[in-house]
Amino acid sequence: MKAVVYYEQGTPEVLTIEEVEKPGIKPDEILIRVKAAGLNPVDTYFRSGKRPVSSFPAIPHFDAAGIVEEVGSSAGNFQPGDRVWGTNIPSAAAEWAAAPASNIFPLPDTMSFTEGASLGIPALTAHLALFFRAALQPGETVFIYGGAGAVGHAAIQLAKHHNAFVITTASTNEKNEIARRAGADVVLNLNDNGWKEDFASASGKPGADVILDMSFSENAATDLHILSPGGRIVAVGSPVNNMPAFPWQLLNQKYASILGILLFTAPLPALQKAASGVQQSYEQGLFSPHIARTYPMDEAAQAHEDLENKRYAGNLVLTVSE
């Protein structure tokens, strides 16, 4: 089978397309004929060396959608021919992938494989961060960094349809429009630091009850400054640990909570409940991913380069097979 492969960590140019052996499956796994594979920032972290890779050669990506080809003896109720999507799938950027059945979910008939491949890490992270970690309540104010990004875009929709007041950031007019279409009540200009000094005037709210931050190590002081008393910060991701001296006194004064999240280590029941919630929101017309661009599998290196250089706002997806 064809797969995206790399033999060492480095720039996107380390990614090649090669013929590799089709994977076998364990009793609790299913074999998926991959139609599309999602690309997420974490994929670039493993490829570039920000995260360790256990062995080489390696096949990247963790999110995929496709058709069930084979079902393990203890892999549940899946049948060959089922349309599915999933996450935490090792080596998803290939024509076939062996996936733990516990991380695979039915793909709605109205959803394309491209959309399904874009759900995993972005939508499930957003759902888990808002409802399992922050316990967002209707009527609360949530501040989401990067409303046009894959996680931010999903979080805006999920929070808004939970009757929260949603404030987000955007760095360009295009991203501002994407965030507003997703349902954001207020979009702050990320390039104008005025909102950091006077959040109430900029946003119309005295503070945020919940903050979703994709680069918490860079924004800790700002987050605590704009957080309402008793508020919760969810550190969705920090590519590198570059945190300055932490304002512990302000943390205590605000009676604040800082919560971590990593989809790879999320409790399985929570992950499955989040998947059900995301699917239900999609089927009700309350949520849809924003696909910025698709690439054929042999342009994986270009896709990685585009993601790292933030050339597009939204989800990037590899189309693996017809």
Whether 9 has a pLDDT exceeding 80, the answer reads: yes
Q: For residue 49, give Cα distances in angstroms to 7, 8, 166, 217, 239.
A: 12, 9, 35, 19, 11
Domain extent for 156: 122-264
According to the model, what pLDDT value does residue 18 have?
A: 97
What is the SS3 assignment for 308? helix
Averaged pLDDT of the chain: 94
Per-residue pLDDT tens digits for 145-192: 999 999 999 999 999 999 999 999 999 999 999 999 999 999 999 888
- Residues 215-220 have a mean pLDDT of 86
Q: Does residue 283 sit within a domain?
A: no
**Residue 240 CB burial class (10 angstroms; 0-12, 13-18, ≥19):** exposed
pTM of the model: 0.94
Per-residue pLDDT tens digits for 265-307: 999 999 999 999 999 999 999 999 999 999 999 999 999 999 9
CA distance 132 to 287: 18
Q: Does residue 8 sit within a domain?
A: yes
According to the model, what pLDDT value does residue 120 have?
A: 96
Per-residue pLDDT tens digits for 47-99: 999 999 999 999 999 999 999 999 999 998 899 999 999 999 999 999 999 99
- Residues 315-320 have a mean pLDDT of 97
| Claim to verify: residue 244 and residue 138 sit in the same structural domain | yes
According to the model, what pLDDT value does residue 146 have?
A: 94
Q: Does residue 277 sit within a domain?
A: no
CA distance 5 to 8: 9
Phi (first) and psi of residue 113, to 5 degrees: -65, -35
What CATH number does the domain containing 150 carry? Answer: 3.40.50.720
- Share of residues in the chain with pLDDT > 70 (%): 98
CA distance 188 to 118: 26
Q: Does residue 273 sit within a domain?
A: no
Per-residue pLDDT tens digits for 181-194: 999 999 999 888 88
According to the model, what pLDDT value does residue 25 have?
A: 97
240, 170, 169, 175: which is closest to 199 by C-alpha?
Answer: 169
| Claim to verify: residue 127 and residue 219 sit in the same structural domain | yes
- Residues 22-28 have a mean pLDDT of 97
| Claim to verify: residue 126 and residue 109 sit in the same structural domain | no
| Claim to verify: residue 109 and residue 199 sit in the same structural domain | no
Q: For residue 245, give Cα distances in angstroms to 180, 188, 217, 259, 261.
A: 34, 26, 10, 18, 22
According to the model, what pLDDT value does residue 242 have?
A: 66
Retrieve residue 148's tokens: 């046009």
| Claim to verify: residue 105 and residue 180 sit in the same structural domain | no
Q: According to DSSP H, which parts of the chain are helical?
A: 41-48, 113-117, 120-127, 150-160, 173-182, 194-197, 199-203, 216-226, 248-253, 268-283, 300-308
What CATH number does the domain containing 59 carry? Answer: 3.90.180.10
- Share of residues in the chain with pLDDT > 90 (%): 86
| Claim to verify: residue 132 and residue 226 sit in the same structural domain | yes
